[in-house]
Amino acid sequence: MLFEDLDAVEPFPVAYIRDLSLLIISDLHLGYEAVSAEHGVFIPKVQFGKIKEMIRRCFSKTRARRILILGDVKHEFSETSYHEYREVSSLFSYLDGIFKEVIVVKGNHDTFIQRMTRRFGIEVYDCYNEDRYSFIHGHKEFDLERMEGDTLVMGHEHPSVALFTDVGVKEKLKVFLYGNHKGKRILVMPSASFFAEGSDVNILPREELISPILRRVDIDSFKAVGILEDDRYLDLPTIGRLRKYG
């Protein structure tokens, strides 16, 4: 359990708020393989199918009525490619058939996303507020002290931790990053993408974190839950303690 009212769906990078019947997923980066191919790096086009299956399994576990995508649905910054348009549209069609409501928070990669969402009647927000929660992507400055509720859920950082074996081999582990800052609860979602790199928050100095929000927060006091893919979660100590082991 992350917070008493906000949990994760083991063993996936997906969170769930039972009282809102809401699944939360972040940073899908659909179309990643096609963009990589344009740069001469050829990756099997497997991500879309895996993300659909992950969402199906999370729905099966929770029977959530709604889903919120916390930004970076797509990967390409500029004009949407045909491959990307097809995958994103197919995803929205799939979600529309499962959930009563689909909510999208716009990320920094989500240029032209409204061209696809309007076909399905999906609202796109810079910040979505409901009950005690505020949902943002995390790539822009955000005033925590003036937010409507007491809980911020964000993405963008792709948090991970670096763990080292006795012989110095580095293992990278996606994590949920969560803690408190000046009376506000913060949850940083892991990336749902199977390819997007993460930020090793136990190695990077705070000033080198991607999100301007996290650069102003003492993340050394935050805890992490690691994701062992297709297996289970791993409870980890605070980032400050993990930093000492790095």
Q: How many residues are given for the chain?
A: 246
Question: Tell me, what's the pLDDT at 76?
Answer: 65
Q: How far is CA 117 from the centre of its chain?
A: 19
Please write the tens of the pLDDT for every residue from 128-158: 999 999 999 999 999 998 898 999 999 999 9
Tell me which residue has tokens 């999370």: 58
Q: How does the average pLDDT of the chain come out, rounded? A: 88
Question: Tell me, what's the pLDDT at 40?
Answer: 56
pLDDT at 74 over 90: no
Tell me which residue has tokens 């749902």: 192
Which overall architecture, per CATH, does domain 7-245 show? 4-Layer Sandwich (3.60)
Question: Tell me, what's the pLDDT at 75?
Answer: 53
The whole-angstrom separation of Cα 79 and Cα 56 is: 29
The whole-angstrom separation of Cα 27 and Cα 229 is: 17
Residues 83, 30 contacting (CB under 8 angstroms): no
Share of the chain above pLDDT 90, in %: 68
Q: Which two tokens stand for residue 98?
A: 């499962």
The whole-angstrom separation of Cα 185 and Cα 207 is: 21
Q: What pTM, to 2 d.p., does this model score?
A: 0.91
Reported confidence tier of residue 77, pLDDT bands at 50, 70, 90: very low
Residues 91, 49 contacting (CB under 8 angstroms): no
Please write the tens of the pLDDT for every residue from 164-174: 866 566 789 99
pLDDT at 108 over 80: yes
The whole-angstrom separation of Cα 151 and Cα 134 is: 6
Question: Tell me, what's the pLDDT at 245?
Answer: 67
pLDDT at 191 over 70: yes
Question: Tell me, what's the pLDDT at 37?
Answer: 44
pLDDT at 230 over 90: no
The DSSP string of the chain is --BTTBEE-TTSS-EEEGGGTEEEE----BTHHHHHHHTT----S-HHHHHHHHHHHHHHHH--SEEEE-S--B--SSSPPHHHHHHHHHHHHHHHHH-SEEEEE--TT-TTTHHHHGGGT-EEESEEEETTEEEE-SSS---GGG-SSSEEEE-SS-EEEEEE-TT--EEEEEEEEEEEETTEEEEEPPP--SSS--EETTTS-GGG-S-TTGGGS-GGG-EEEEEETTTEEEEEEEHHHHHHH-
Please write the tens of the pLDDT for every residue from 12-52: 999 999 999 999 999 998 875 555 545 555 554 678 889 99
